[in-house]
Every structure is written in C-alpha cells, then in structure tokens.
Amino acid sequence: MQTRILKQLALVATCFLPLPAPAAEQITVLTSYPEEVFAKFEAAFEAANPDLDVTIVWRMPHDALPYLRGPGRAHVDVYWAAAYRNFTILAREGALSPLTPDRSALPVSVGSFRLAGPHDSFAGVEMAGFGLAFHPGQLGSLGLPAPNEWSDVADSRYEGHVLLPVPSRVGFAPTLVDGILQGHGWQRGWDLLQRIAANARLVTSGATFLTDELAAHRGAVALGIDFFTRSAIANGMPLAFRYPSTGGLSFAQVAILRDAPKPAPAARFAAFLLSSQGQTLLLDRDIRKMPVRPDIYTADDDTWNPFANDAPILRYDPDLGAQRAGLVSALFDVLITDRHERSKSAWSALRNAERRLGSDAPATERARLARVERMLSALPVTAAEARDPQFAAQFDRRTAPDAAARVAEITAGWRAFFDRQTDEAMHALVE
Amino acid sequence: MRLSNERSRRARLCAALAVLAYAMAHAAEAPESEISPTVADASRDAYSMPMSGLPEDLRQRFLGGRALFRQVWVIAPSADDAIDGLGPVFNRLSCIACHPRNGRGFAPEGPTDELRAMLVRLSMPGDRDKAPPMPHPDYGDQLNELGVPGVPGEGRAAIYYTVREVTLADGTRVPLRAPSIRFRDLAFGDPGPTLLTSARIGPAVFGLGLLEAVPDTTLEHLAKRPGPHRGRMNLIWDAALGRLVPGRFGAKANETTLTRQVAAAAHGDLGITSSLHPVENCTPIQTACRLAPSGGAPELSDDQLDDLVTYLRFVAAPARRDPTDVVVRRGEQRFGDYGCADCHVPTLSTAVDALPAALAGKTFQPYTDLLLHDMGADLADGRPDHLAGGQDWRTPALWGIGLASRVDPRAGFLHDGRARSLLEAVLWHGGEAIDARDAVRDAAPDDRAALLRFLESL
C-alpha cells in the first residue's frame, strides 16, 4: 500500500518536472585521440559550456587529411590531433582560419619548436616524449641493468628482450626513430637502430600493446612513447620509463577549419584545450600527456617537465621529422623489417667475431671487422639526401599521389643494395 | 617361426603406432596449458586481463578482439575500411565508451548531463505473448542519440531523479534516486503515449565465456529449486537450432550466446552491421539514415566478430581479495542468512563438454543463477522482453563488483545505474528479494558493514 502511494506521488511529481533543457549548439571536432582522451575532454568541456554539445568525428591522421580536403570538411569545426604534418599541410593549403587564443600563459616555443603555426593557423596543445619503457622486475630476474640510453639496449646482453615498433605500422614510431636519427646523426643513428633491431622483436601494434607485452613478461624493454607507459604506471602496472638524453618530441595541435560552420563555439573549444582546466586534464592518469603551459607543472608531479630540463631532446626538429617520416619508414622497412632475420644473423655473426677476437686482436683483424661493420651499416641514402625536402617528398603518401609506385621502384634498388652489402660483409667475415 | 616373429614384430609396431597416434591426437586436442579463469589483480586493469595460460593462437585472437573492443569506429567511406561503418545512427563511437576499462557504465547526474555510458531501449506494447519486444516504427528498439554528419540523431534522452530516503534500523538515512526518462529534440516527432522505455548502463565485461559455458541443464535445475527464489529462464527462439534456448546475457537474459550479444550490441549501439544483423539500423521514416554510405556488407566481418567474441570469452574474472578475513567471512555468512545467495548463487560450473574446450569443466564463483526474478515495482521498467516481464531482471553476477569503483569511479549499480553504492543497490531490491532487502535494512550495523565488506571482497 505504502509503495503504491509512493509510486503515485512520484508520478504526480513527474508532471512537475522542468521541461528538458533546450538543445545545445553542436560543434563537430575531428580527432584521432583514443576514447579515453577525447571522452574526458568532451565531458569536461560540455560541463563548463552547457550551451555547447560536442560531436566527435574520428579518423586516424592518414585518413583525416583526405577527409578534411574533401566534402567532409564542410561539417567539421575543429581539428584536434597529434598529427603535425597534417596541420602544416592544411595551413599551407589555406584550409585553417587564424586561431588567437589567450597566449599570456603560453610560451612561444618548446625547445626549438614554435607552438603556433604559421600565421596562427594552429596552436600546439600538448606533447609527448619518447624513451625506454621497461619492467624492472623482469630485468632484475634476467640480471640486466635498467637502461638509460638507446645504446644500452644495443648491447648483446639484451638480445631477445627488446621490443621495437615498426614505423610504417605504429603511428608514433616514425618520430621515435627520427628522434634517434636526429640525436645520433643519420649514419650513426641507423647503425644504432640496426644493432638494437638485432636484439629486438619487431612490433606492429600500437596503443597499449607494448605495455601489455612488458607486463606479461613478453619482453623486458620497449622503445616507445611516454604516455602509454606513464598511464599504465599510474594505473598500477609495475613498469618504469626513462627519457634518454636524445630523442624526439611529438606535438599535438588544434585548429579551426576555415569553413567551420560554428567558428565562435569552435574557438571556445580551442581555448578550453589551452586553459588551465584543459591543460590540467592532460595529467589525468588515463591520459598523461605533457601540457604546453609551464604553469601546470608542479614540483611534486612526476611528469617530466620539458621547461625545467635543458635536455638535447628539446633540440629535436619536428619539421624535419615530419618532412621525412615517409622516407624513414620506407628505409626502416627495407633495412630492418623486411630482412629482420637475415640482418639479425649478420649482426650476430659480427658480434661473435668481435667477442672471439677480443680487444687485443691484431690490427689487421680489427680493420677487417671494422670493414665488415661498415658494409653492414652502409646506407643507400646520404645524410644530405635525408635532409633534402625534394628527396623526402617522394615518400610522402599524403602529398604525392603517385608515391606508392615511386617508393616501390626506389626501395627495390635499396633492397638489392642491402643484399649485396650483407653478402659481401658475410664473405669478408669468413675470409 | 620366421613368419611368426615377423607377425609379432609387426603387431608390436602397429601397437606402438596406435599408441603414438592416440597420444598425438590427444596432444592436439589438449590445450597447451591449463587455463585459469580468474586473475589475482586488484588494479584498475582488473577487468581487462586475459585468462592465464591461453595458447598462442587464442592469445592472438584475444589481442585482435581487444583492439576492436577499444577501437573508435569511423564513418564510411574511409581509408581504414576494416573499421569503417559507424552509424548512420548510433549511441557511442566505441564499445569501450559504455564499458570503461571493461567496467560498468554510469548514469547521468541529471537532465543536463549526457548519456555517456547508458542507452534507452524502446518498444511498443506487443500483442504476441512471450515474443521479443516490438520496435517503435520510427525510432526502432533503441534511441540512437547520434548520427553521422548529414544524418540526424534520433533525439536526446534526459534523466531526471526524484529522491527518497530509506531509514535503516540504526537510524542511518540512505537517499535513493528514482530515475525517469524524458526526451528532447526528437527528430521524427512524438513517439506516442504507449512507448515503452528502459534505460541501461553498460555492464562489466569479464568472465563471460564461463557464463556462456554453463550448461542449460544447470539453469533448468536452478529454476526447479523449491522455494520462492527459484527464478525462471528466459527462453529465446534459436532459428539455427529450431528450438527455444535459455537466454543468459543482457539485463533480461534476452540473448543466448556471446556471439549474438556482441553482434546485437555492435548493431544497436554503434550501427555496425554483421552477418547476424546485415541491415543498417534505420527505420523507414529515416530517409537520410537509409541513404548514408555503408562501410561494407557486413561492416563487421565474421573474423572480426569471432575476434571480439574470443576476447570477451577469455577476459578473466578478478579473484576475490581477503576471503579469509574475519569480517569478510562474517559478511559471507550474512549473505547466506539473508537469502542473497538464493539468487546470487555463489558457485557454478561449466559443462564438461563445453566449447571452447579450454573452458570445459571449470568451477567458478560468479554469484548469479542467470535466471529471471521479479524484483518488484520500484525497479520495474514495465517493458517485457520474451518471457521476462516488466518487473523481471536477470540476477546480475556479483563477481568483481568490489572493484567496480576502482576500475572507474563513476561506475553505477543496477541496470540503469541509479544506485551509487552497493548499499543503495541492495535497498532497491523488491519483489522476490524483499525479505533479503528488509533483512539488510533491519540488520545490526556490524552485520550490515560485514555484508558490504564481503561484497567489496568479490
């Protein structure tokens, strides 16, 4: 009886409920962030701006550019992604409208990287660094020290315990690899990458795959981007992460499309990303990106503060990295991915020979092994070519429509070059 | 003599070969190692761990399925044609949105808050007894709030709460919020006064392969128990088998297998077609929806569907914490004393011949009987679903529930997330569970605290 009365009262009360709130104005945001990231920003922005309602359109960077160049652009107000190359292309094509957020709390640049795009066409909103993720317990059980530098995991003691992402398959990996190349130089960088690859299992899945593999003891060290590991650590995984003294930085941007249907609300979304609230949200344990506002970092925060560190990593040139991402990925595939087993055995044979001969080997033997190493390290692309925008443009599938055919032709030549070099090196080794 | 020796030698050889063949055949059948259905992990990833001992081929499918479960789907056409086909109308962009970290969804805090991990099922009163819900002619069987660009979402749901208080025996007052649903921005007009609605948050998704592998005979046996709490099976017509099959997934046990459950959710929540749901979820009046590009026929391939199902089958359930703690044991005792364990049956076993074989013959502690129970008027949605009436709900599994808020602090309890704590959830119980609810309400504070401590240990 009491229940029935309560239900009747509840029904009467329902009649006096306020009418639903009027429809909020919708803005459309194109992004490639994972659900955990965009959903938190979406919810926080809508809570702070109840008159606005965010619609997410999701596309990976390689898929977003053609979408934003096509009719889909007419629906999009904001582009928000870690896809620097796309932003520079769209800015060059005049597809972005000037963005003028309150910059009073924003630095002009981080290291050598200017946060604002040309003519304020976009703004940097967050960044991520690259380094070594590892499982201290697993390393301990293997008797291996925690690595500090990229070169540490090139040591043969790490053989079979390293995970190396493939740049053509894992979104963040081109900048990871380019950070090593910029830090060590073109020739020495590839030499180091080959030695690391000789110890590594190649990985073609991104996101949390690396941390999951480490947690499952299917590898002890992984070369990767910081936030997946730092988020995993914040959520209880027994992992650690170190930034070597050289490496890349990845920046994410926000821009308003020139033809945005809702430019004013779009500007409010961009301003939110750069606000204290939006930047603090980057420190969430499920996100763990680096804010671009120095005032967000606190002394007791475990986030690596790029503004407090004069590390060489800050000298990384993202423009060069973006310019030659296609070239680096193609060369990595031909040199490492496609011939991994052969390359591993060649480097392993060289290491064994070095170990056998020892440090007091005769000069002629040392010279012979140095010649073998030079053969294995030889590259079909010079350092000058690697900095040449015209040369790199041949490999850019986003701007060169016929890139696939041209890349196939060029890489066939590289393949023959590496096969020849390896054959000669192995021949020289057994002389 | 020579012939005899030769025969003997051949016989021994044949026998040896037979033994070898038998051993090889059984070696091929047997899993590489024993699979453990629970995992001792109390972190925020506790609902996301694979069962240990998965053979490599299953592990690869598990990882493939996990990537799809976390995948944000893309509007067609797309260069990423394996993951395009979102919508044309949908609720969220990924599975993980409504099952954050594989955990429970959550209800909006009020009418201005969006349904971020919740949806509203719709239907019309049917004139067929024991049938599936009859979709609304214009809005279908679920309000899809969002649409791809150029396609209007069907409308928005707003959740309003009226709060009442329950006073416990020791004077503690517990506020309970009763939700009601109102719609706005409806794209196809007033759905009419007879529309039936039911709000649902996403359930936690782990240990589902074990629940699927519980034999039908166990459910039949449980449904025949003496007493007021024996429960009823929901029976669903299986066209392939040509017979009625007990449902075991969904808040009203309206899906019989994980494959059907996953395909239905992909279709209903994301607008992703599959071989089980090959037609886009557009009603006849939804012209723009019907004209929108498709991501393929179907958009979710059978291989992808298999991967998703494999993933959900082999996500481990978290192991209990502190089961020998004195307070936990006292709470467990009260759980039985109050009658909770009559429906939240602690232990079930999979069939010895269950498929996949890796899950056969496992005994586990889900705290459910997978049966429907009348939970009273206060929890009723008034929306029948096959044999489930408007007051009926399938007993939800309680395993892992003590980690719900750790996995996601927003996690809600009960089918629509109205309960913000385990105590609130208990106090919403009615119908067949009214005695258990009253026992908790009237319990000594120490006993009530012990009961809750026990639930938190699950």
Check pLDDT > 70 for residue A371: yes
- Torsion on CA atoms A284, A290, A296, A302, rounded to nearest 10: 70
Mean pLDDT of chain A: 91
Task: List strand residue ranges (DSSP E) for B25-82, in order.
Answer: 38-39
Q: DSSP secondary-structure letter at B308?
A: H
- Pinpoint the alpha helices (H) of A226-288: 226-234, 263-274, 276-281
Q: How far is B332 from chain A (nearest CA, A)?
A: 28
Q: Is the dihedral of CA B12, B14, B17, B18 positive or negative?
A: negative
- Test A3 with B164 for CB contact under 8 angstroms: no
Torsion sign (Cα): A266, A271, A274, A275: negative
Report the residue of chain B nearest A235, measured CA to CA. B44
When scoring A29, A30, A35, A201 by the number of chain B Cβ atoms within 10 A, the one with the most, hence best to mutate, is A35
Interface test with B, best of A9, A12, A16, A17 (most B CBs within 10 A): A17
Reported confidence tier of residue B32, pLDDT bands at 50, 70, 90: very low
Residue B185 Ramachandran class (φ > 0 left, ψ -120 to 50 alpha, else beta):
left
Q: Does A109 touch chain B (CB under 8 A)?
A: no
Residue A287 pLDDT: 95
Instruction: Pick B151 or A5 by higher pLDDT.
Output: B151
Residue A58 at interface with chain B, using a CB cutoff of 8 Å: yes
A 10 A CB-CB count for A16 gives 6
CA-wise closest residue to B308 among B317, B319, B299, B320: B299
Please, are residues A417 and A348 in contact by the beta-carbon 8 Å criterion? no
CA-wise closest residue to A279 among A45, A53, A78, A59: A45
- CA–CA dist B418, B415 (Å, integer): 8
Contact at CB, A58 and B73, closer than 8 angstroms? yes
Q: Cβ contacts (< 8 Å) between B150 and chain A: which residues?
A: 75
Q: What is the spatial distance between Cα A224 and Cα A134, in angstroms, rounded to a whole number?
A: 10
Look up residue A161 and give its two tokens. 């315990």
Report d(CA B270, CA B295) in Å as an integer: 12
pLDDT of B3 over the 70 cut = no
Residue B332, SS3?
helix
Global pTM value? 0.90
Say whether the peptide bond before residue B88 is cis (omega within 30 degrees of 0). Answer: yes
Number of residue pairs across A and B with CB atoms under 8 Å? 91
What is the per-residue pLDDT for A21? 60
Distance CA B417, CA B198 (A): 12
DSSP state of B267: I
Per-residue model confidence as pLDDT tens digits over B316-345 = 999 999 999 999 999 999 999 999 999 999
Cα gap B438→A284, rounded to integer Å: 41
How many helices (H) and strands (E) are present in chain A, helices listed first?
18, 13
Q: Would you state the pLDDT for residue A146?
A: 97
Q: Does A48 touch chain B (CB under 8 A)?
A: no
Instruction: Residue B158: list chain A partners with CB under 8 A.
Output: 20-21
| ipTM for the whole predicted complex goes beyond 0.95 | no
CB atoms within 10 A of CB B20: 10
Share of chain B above pLDDT 90, in %: 88
Sign of CA dihedral B384, B388, B393, B399: negative
Contact A154, A195 (CB under 8 A): yes
pLDDT of residue A19: 52
Q: What is the largest CA-CA distance in chain B?
A: 98
Number of Cα atoms under 13 Å in the Cβ half of residue B332 = 16
Residue type, A6: L
For residue B129, the model assigns a pLDDT of 62
Quick one: which of B244, B243, B227, B226 has its CA closest to B235? B244
Testing the interface with A: which of B41, B43, B45, B270 to mutate, by most A Cβ within 10 A? B45
CB atoms within 10 A of CB B321: 15
- pLDDT above 50: residue A391: yes
- Beta-carbon contacts of A101 under 8 Å, excluding residues fewer than 6 positions away, are A123, A267, A270, A271, A274
pLDDT digits (tens, 9 = 90+) for B228-252: 888 999 999 988 889 999 999 999 9
Across the interface, of B78, B180, B377, the residue whose CB is closest to A59 is: B78
Using the Cβ of A28 and the Cβ atoms of chain B, whether some distance falls under 8 Å is answered with yes
Q: Which of A8-17, A68-77, B446-455 has the lowest mean pLDDT?
A: A8-17
* pLDDT tens column, A300-327: 667 788 888 777 778 899 999 999 999 9
**Is the model more confident about B275 or about A303?**
B275
Segment B63-119, tens digit of pLDDT: 999 999 999 999 999 999 999 999 999 999 999 999 999 999 999 999 999 999 999
State how far the Cα of B297 lies from the Cα of B301, in Å rounded to an integer.
8
Mean pLDDT, rounded, for A184-191: 96
A375: which 2 tokens?
């053969």
Q: Percentage of residues in chain A with pLDDT exceeding 90? A: 78
CB burial of residue A327 (10 Å; 0-12, 13-18, 19+)? buried
Quick: pLDDT tens for B372-426. Answer: 999 999 999 999 999 999 999 999 999 999 999 999 999 999 999 999 999 999 9
- Check whether B10 has a pLDDT greater than 90: no
Chain B partners within 8 Å of A18 (Cβ): 111
pLDDT for the residue numbered A12: 42
Q: Is the pLDDT of residue B149 over 80?
A: yes
Instruction: Name which of B45, B114, B162 is nearest A13 (Cβ-Cβ).
Output: B162
- B86 vs A contacts (CB less than 8 Å): 58
DSSP three-state, residue A332: helix
B394 forms beta bridges with: B372
Query: Tell me, what's the pLDDT at A3?
Result: 44
CB-neighbour burial class of residue B48 (10 A; exposed 0-12, middle 13-18, buried 19+) = buried
CB contact under 8 A, A21 and B112: yes
* Average of per-residue pLDDT across B154-165: 97
pLDDT in the model for residue B82 = 95
Least confident among A9-13, B177-181, B253-257 = A9-13
Contacts of B427 in chain A (CB under 8 A): none
Q: What are phi and psi of A123, to 5 degrees?
A: -135, 140
- To the nearest whole Å, the CA of B43 is away from the closest chain A CA by 6
Q: What is the dihedral of CA B82, B83, B87, B88, to 10 degrees?
A: -50
Task: Give the pLDDT band (50/70/90) at residue B57.
Answer: very high
B17, pLDDT greater than 80: no
- Tell me, what's the pLDDT at A112? 81
Q: Name residue, tokens 């007791």.
A: A300
Task: Tell me the pLDDT band of B33, cut-offs 50, 70 and 90.
Answer: low
pLDDT at A9 over 60: no
The total number of residues shown for chain A amounts to: 431
pLDDT digits (tens, 9 = 90+) for A57-113: 999 999 999 999 999 999 999 999 999 999 999 999 999 999 988 889 999 998 888
Query: Quick one: closest CA in A to B101, which residue?
Result: A36
- The reply to whether omega before B318 is within 30° of 0 (cis) is no
Q: What is the pLDDT of residue A1?
A: 44
pLDDT, tens only, B340-387: 999 999 999 999 999 999 999 999 999 999 999 999 999 999 999 999
Candidates B49, B73, B114: best to mutate against A (most CBs of A within 10 A) is B114
Counting Cβ atoms within 10 Å, is residue B386 exposed (0-12), middle (13-18) or buried (19+)?
buried
Contacts 24+ apart (CB under 8 A), B351-358: B351/B213, B351/B214, B351/B215, B354/B213, B354/B215, B355/B213, B356/B58, B356/B209, B356/B313, B357/B29, B357/B31, B358/B31, B358/B35, B358/B54, B358/B55, B358/B58, B358/B314
What DSSP element (H or E) covers A56? strand A52-58
Chain B residues touching residue A20 (CB < 8 angstroms): 111, 156, 158, 182-184
What pLDDT score does A6 carry? 41
Q: Which amino acid does the sequence have at A373? A: E
Cα A174 to Cα A252: distance, rounded to the nearest angstrom: 15
